[in-house]
Chain A
């Protein structure tokens, strides 16, 4: 294991950021289901605990719902507010991914901070258009996609904001795993807003490719233009198989992952046309 010599309980986000700045790469925020990674990392000598920083709430705010970074998957799955948000997809899947004793440990902040390529929460939040609130001495708010791309260190994730504009949209998740509590060989999340026959909005995200979560705006665009016929989804599936970068790891080959990309899109079509989830 590593060389952890200090466990520091920050009493505020200011305190946490100041401590993280002072210690540089030898400090890491603890909790959120990433404990094993920290214990195995020989660089980390100080753990900073954020549990006293008041980041554990789910609140309805002016322009959406704010989910604190210390909120666990289990808490999301129980949240009455989130059960009503975007068809309840986030609450539903937060209660099903990983496994019961980790659903009480994995947090929003831990998932985003670590951003494992096979993480199932991050791609869904990206599809939902979540923004990240973070603190690095000053308050910031930025779309989750750009937060992850920027690979910020030292900042404290305060939480995410799910935009209120999604009231009529519905979240979709399709994850392919070897067993139910396995990580994804391929993950697809989407947010779809349909009015009658018109697709008003579509965000499509793939993860576990085995690369990190990525948003594919061109696929969303094609879905909005293509309508909901079976042919349209077959065509979208072909585009997705072209567009989504897939690779080979010890769990699956790139060729097979391409099959899964197609399966995800066909399943999205089935879901939109009411066949199945």
Chain B
């Protein structure tokens, strides 16, 4: 298992897309902060720092840019083993499919952490450069770590779904398409349909299915004052999704022949 993970890291660090996606994610998170600063300057004619904007605010807004690029990277890295046929080189060497799958889950976690931290650091640096760091008390530091920790849990939960899709679809193009469809279709179609169904048929008026969808917590956790209910429910939802999607992915890998 350790050798397989080391081999996956070796391949990842030699994948140009890993660096390319990272650079684009960092640029976009910086650009968001720069554009916000320009908009405030031109609209109000004052520095954004006077309105309370600081490096911590930039960090919060910039971190969210990571998700799309983590998704793209994982949508390529996982099914590439099937597209290139190299999964046969791994599966035929006496390595269990359980280990093959878990290695990719660990890679997805690493990519998530790398991109999230990169976006957070770059946007904080740019924001601090333009607006100052803000009041970095011990409490603020703790809240930033808490926010990044929660966000990473949500990110890993979301990416565990994409890893599962990669192992089921087994084609790079197909995986990207399905994952993008999940990102777009679930909040627009599935969640409203579920809400309507449960609210009208089961008469549960305050039901909101988005509370049980890990993507929701990507945005809810990007705050320094997340409410405790969201922390508890969100962590349970994310954990359930991580376990369920991993179990389904491993089941699919065991049940189907490797080609």
A pairs with B? no
